């Protein structure tokens, strides 16, 4: 089992990192509170990485740091996406550089239909994900394209939030607790969609309280505890390790 990624031979990851997304020595603060305490990990192209840990471990803060969603979080560290140093870009530039965060509260825009929510996110002209392709992926959204987004069911709103991230023509999908509050049958549907998106080459970081479901879907896992990484390895290793699950995931 590989506890903590070994970057010791590789002080400057830009030169040699084989990973698609590299997070290197990330620190983040809310005012005086030191929350993300030197987190480093790699995500390979096309994989699903489960980012796990107990409540308050720093999962959301880590996702926000990667997505460069600043205020009130102050971050420091390196983020390399497809050889691009996101940490050196202005935040508005980084926001268009290929990371799509789907926040826990989904942030569907009130007063806009499903289609308008998607159109607002879409880059012009759409490169990868046209509206038709998104509706093929989420037929429920196609059926409800003229319905106001905020009147959708919880599961449909989650689908819209994911579709909206894809519409921005992203390279990495960052999902913060996508299954929260959803019935198992809807979770099944979202899982199938995530597998389909993966088969199209998408790279995903999945933060989830439902660790077993996340591990069953994921290729690899990183476990956070009080703002630091305590495990970096395969999802299967976590599923097989009762001690690790009991200590850091309470399952």
* Binding residues for ligand ATP (CB under 6 A): 30, 33, 35, 53, 55-61, 72
Residue 146's alpha-carbon distances to 76, 108, 116, 117, 153, in angstroms, are 42, 14, 8, 10, 14
- Tell me how far apart the alpha carbons of residues 177 and 51 are, in angstroms, rounded to a whole number: 10
Helices (H), 125-153: 131-137, 139-143
* Residue 50: strand pairing partners: 206, 221
Which CB, 28 or 134, lies closer to ligand ATP?
28
Closest by CA position to 39, among listed 224, 235, 247: 224
Closest by CA position to 193, among listed 129, 233, 135, 137: 137
Which CB, 39 or 141, lies closer to ligand ATP?
39
Question: Nearest distance from residue 154's CB to ligand ATP, in Å?
Answer: 17
Which CB, 5 or 227, lies closer to ligand ATP?
227
Question: Nearest distance from residue 59's CB to Mg ion, in Å?
Answer: 5
Pick what 117 binds: ligand ATP, Mg ion, none; C-beta below 5 to 8 Å, kind-dependent.
Answer: none
Pick what 55 binds: Mg ion, ligand ATP, none; C-beta below 5 to 8 Å, kind-dependent.
Answer: ligand ATP
- Tell me how far apart the alpha carbons of residues 193 and 55 are, in angstroms, rounded to a whole number: 26
Pick what 76 binds: Mg ion, ligand ATP, none; C-beta below 5 to 8 Å, kind-dependent.
Answer: none
Contacts of 150 (CB under 8 A, 6+ apart): 108, 109, 110, 157
Which CB, 144 or 178, lies closer to Mg ion?
178
Question: Nearest distance from residue 201's CB to ligand ATP, in Å?
Answer: 27
97: how many CB neighbours lie within 10 A of its CB?
17
Question: Nearest distance from residue 158's CB to ligand ATP, in Å?
Answer: 16
Q: Which of residues 58-77 bind Mg ion (CB under 5 A)?
A: 59-60
Question: Nearest distance from residue 179's CB to ligand ATP, in Å?
Answer: 13
Which CB, 78 or 208, lies closer to ligand ATP?
208
Which CB, 7 or 29, lies closer to ligand ATP?
29
Helix (H) or strand (E) holding 217: helix 211-217
Binding site for Mg ion (CB under 5 A): 59-60
């Amino acid at each position: 089992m590989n506890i903590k990624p070994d970057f010791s031979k590789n002080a400057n990851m830009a030169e040699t990192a084989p990973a698609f997304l590299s997070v290197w020595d990330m620190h983040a603060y809310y005012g005086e509170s030191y929350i993300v305490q030197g987190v480093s990990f790699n995500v390979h192209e096309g994989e699903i990485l489960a980012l796990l840990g107990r409540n308050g471990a720093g999962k959301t803060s880590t996702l926000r740091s990667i997505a460069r969603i600043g205020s009130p979080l102050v971050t420091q560290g390196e983020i390399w996406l497809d050889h691009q140093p996101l940490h050196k870009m202005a935040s508005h530039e980084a926001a268009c550089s290929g990371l799509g965060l789907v926040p826990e509260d989904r942030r569907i825009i009130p007063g806009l239909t499903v289609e308008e929510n998607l159109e607002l996110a879409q880059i012009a002209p759409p490169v990868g994900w046209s509206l038709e392709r998104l509706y093929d992926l989420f037929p429920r959204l196609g059926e409800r394209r003229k319905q106001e987004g905020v009147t959708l069911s919880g599961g449909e709103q989650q689908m819209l939030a994911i579709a909206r991230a894809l519409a921005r023509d992203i390279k990495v999908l960052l999902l913060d607790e996508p299954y929260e509050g959803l019935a198992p049958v809807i979770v099944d549907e979202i899982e199938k969609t995530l597998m389909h998106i993966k088969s199209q080459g998408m790279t995903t970081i999945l933060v989830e309280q439902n660790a077993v479901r996340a591990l069953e879907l994921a290729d690899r896992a990183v476990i956070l505890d009080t703002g630091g990484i305590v495990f970096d390895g395969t999802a299967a290793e976590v599923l097989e390790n009762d001690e690790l699950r009991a200590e850091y995931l309470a399952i």
